[in-house]
Amino acid sequence: EIVLTQSPGTLSLSPGERATLSCRASQSVSSSYLAWYQQKPGQAPRLLIYGASSRATGIPDRFSGSGSGTDFTLTISRLEPEDFAVYYCQQYGSSSRYTFGQGTKLEIK
């Protein structure tokens, strides 16, 4: 089973700053099968990025995804107040196994 490790666990930044979140896989992951989600308190997760770099419908262009193989990155170019949340990466692997990273909490500094 592929394990996804996200770093940092918590990221403290101010509005207007750039956020860089990392997701590292224990084995190579097809870029087609790597996604990012945002979750705010008391809400369901929301799809941000799929296929490692494609933005989901309605997602602002300040969100971007990149990476391949075992290293993937979610970048938020300029933080808005509504971006402070928990972010998860997710992969879809063999035997139809789906795994999530443990999450990165993005908090206001």
Binding residues for other proteins, rule: CB under 8 A, are 32-33, 35, 37, 39, 43-47, 50-51, 56, 88, 90-92, 95-103
Per-residue DSSP letter, 97: -
Query: Which residue, 15 or 25, is less far from other proteins as judged by CB?
Result: 25
Shortest distance (Å) from residue 1 CB to other proteins:
9
Shortest distance (Å) from residue 56 CB to other proteins:
6
Handedness of CA 17, 66, 102, 46 (dihedral sign): positive
Query: Which residue, 39 or 64, is less far from other proteins as judged by CB?
Result: 39
Query: Which residue, 14 or 94, is less far from other proteins as judged by CB?
Result: 94
Angle at CA of residue 47, ends 44 and 49, nearest 5°: 155
Shortest distance (Å) from residue 39 CB to other proteins:
8
Per-residue DSSP letter, 84: -
Report how many helices (DSSP H) and strands (DSSP E) the chain contains, helices first: 0, 10
